Structure 1
């Protein structure tokens, strides 16, 4: 958000704009728009009034009208970095990445030290599968010295995309020094430590997140998975059950618990989990496949073949190939229905 420019105007819109900014701080966007409209009547070329009106429209989710106002700013001042950046961000959120890139490119030209501009530009390139250009943006951004909380967070994100996980952790730790209540940074450190296979550290960090009431599904998922990877299975199951008591049909947590039970060779309970998963997402071939190998391991050949058949119907080549080499189906190697299913 950019407020409080305090631009001087030969037509004396300063007082009006100050009133509008006070209303913005109170999140009274409609009232602020009325004030900025008066400023525009006084001075149709007021960059500040048009920019602040655009910002208010953006906050009200009136994106098309916001873009129109930001474009008016650019008619008045083509090198207005804030307007270029804002239009680029709106298009990014709308997943109109080519449009986003055209404005963000210009924003970077105007200020090559703006980490946030590189952030959205890099992700826009990434979302249209131009990875080389995306990583070039990320690489440029991590060379810039960060001072603000958001800049450190953006740098951490770039480093994460570049698989420089240790350096990403350091950046998120900088974020927490500036704002210990930044939920995203705290949980991200836990995820990164999990990715670095530092499971004990991940557990400590994620447990601290939960103690501070950051009780997102992500937090519980990575905490449970960290316990599982550390072979602390009882604690892992307890974490999964805790979040499932709040979100009983969450497929990510259900599958995580299913995999845990599979590793513990508790196939009967795992089957119940996977049966629930195929009820929730009947077109997900992975869940049918998981159900199939649990049935096979639990000596239910007919049910195993039936579940595998459903998996293969949804995604034939991939799951046929998996089943041909999967040792979990060893008990079915002489089963005629199984052989016909994977060979045809």
Structure 2
């Protein structure tokens, strides 16, 4: 009734009287619903009618902090503190201001001081815990969140935060001990069983994880997180059909997700049921067309089936989403080579180099394709660039030998061949494979013969 009356007043420009409690409720409603401009109007009118109300002034402080008007908020807090020095809300707002200024240790000290005056300390412990999280002090954060759980075993937000701190510390065994102790006191908490299963999963204790997720589902048979984690665990145990069944349950309980479709597809692929895998990968990309993982899985599956034309189509879709992914460009190059689309392969290898994928196999593959299509000078440039990074690699030196000979620079060719055989003589056959006429060159043959004789 108060809210309707207030909004009617704003529309008609009339002025109605509200007691301070009504104003508090109106303002809090607007804050909770994110209507801050209306909250500000209610605060202004409220303070006109009740200028001494500390609660309304504190709500004004909250709005000032939200608007990042920290100096005004601090000034108003000082006025309130002079009237009510032990008001716990004053401490809380001062702590929030310090936190916004990234002065988290000061915020913690203010919150600790407020514990002397609050009746219910749980909210303060939670705030202290959050400030310690900002400082990456996970141990102290965890200890404060644990205090919240001690007074309220249904405080799942604090439970999640405790487990998060254990995760960040890498203390998974300790997390298991904590969760087992929690479950002893609150055995019907599906959240705790779920979190316990996650810890076992991280430690590769899949059978124990499975038991934990089973309990979570028994307690709440609509707990989607329990089904998802159980399905992932079944995958690790190579029980793929059971994993599929549990992923399917999540599709029945809630709107389908691309994640679930992908996981179902991967299970079918591991069961050598390629058609079913393709069906679910397609569902995944239909559900989320920007899911590059779905497109790349389709690419790999068609590649394995040697359907390179479809593989090329799907890798193109993945690259539309993430054209800075060097693995996608490598795959694009590979597929184009299978289809004899050499210019596209060259483009892809150059893109890998542009993206700082300077692995030797990229240089070698690019140089070999350029050689094949007759771009000898470009191939030579690629290998010279590669040699700057990979100084003692036979793969490069033998190829330089061949290219220099083709380009009628016999002196350089011989020098690189001599260097190459010192690095790896057995690999010299690559010259015969890539540059057969160079291999038959009398000087090259003489070097090979002399090396064999020296090794006898």
Scaled by the length of structure 2, the TM-score of the pair is 0.53
User: Which residue of 195, 216, 239 corresponds with 1:154?
Assistant: 195
- Which aligned pairs between 1:268-279 and structure 2 lie closer than 5 A? 268-279=309-320
Highest RCO, 1 vs 2 (Cα 8 Å, sep ≥ 6): 1
Q: In structure 2, how many angstroms separate the alpha carbons of the residues matched to 1:208 and 1:310?
A: 43
Q: Does 1:182 align with 2:223?
A: yes
Quote the residue 1:141 is aligned against.
178
Instruction: Identify unmatched segments of 5+ residues in structure 1.
Output: 1-15, 126-130
Paired residues of 1:122 and 1:137 also in contact (CA < 8 A): yes
Number of equivalenced pairs? 299
Quote the residue 2:164 is aligned against.
120
Deviations 1:120-164 (A, max 9, x none): 211333xxxxx4xx3354343354252212211221222222222
Scaled by the length of structure 1, the TM-score of the pair is 0.68
Deviations 1:250-279 (A, max 9, x none): 212111211121122211111111122222
Look up the SS of the partner of 2:348 in the other structure: helix
Q: In structure 2, how many angstroms separate the alpha carbons of the residues matched to 1:202 and 1:309?
A: 41
Q: Does 1:320 align with 2:360?
A: yes
Paired residues of 1:142 and 1:158 also in contact (CA < 8 A): no
Quote the residue 2:113 is aligned against.
75
User: Which residue of 307, 313, 337 corresponds with 1:266?
Assistant: 307
Pair 1:223–1:82, CA change in 2 (3 A): same
1:334 Cα offset (Å): 7.5
Quote the residue 1:128 is aligned against.
none
Paired residues of 2:213 and 2:226 also in contact (CA < 8 A): yes
Paired residues of 1:254 and 1:277 also in contact (CA < 8 A): yes
Instruction: Identify unmatched segments of 5+ residues in structure 2.
Output: 1-20, 40-45, 47-52, 59-79, 388-456
Look up the SS of the partner of 2:287 in the other structure: coil
Quote the residue 1:210 is aligned against.
251
Quote the residue 1:289 is aligned against.
330
Q: In structure 1, how many angstroms separate the alpha carbons of the residues matched to 2:380 and 2:159?
A: 56
Look up the SS of the partner of 2:136 in the other structure: helix
Deviations 1:37-60 (A, max 9, x none): 48x99997677x899x99xxx9xx
Pair 1:311–1:192, CA change in 2 (3 A): farther
Q: CA RMSD in A?
A: 4.5
- Which aligned pairs between 1:1-344 and structure 2 lie closer than 5 A? 37=55, 74-77=112-115, 80=121, 82-89=123-130, 92=133, 96=134, 98-108=136-146, 116=160, 118-125=162-169, 131=170, 134-146=171-183, 147=187, 148-317=189-358, 319-321=359-361, 335=372, 343-344=386-387
Bigger radius of gyration: 2
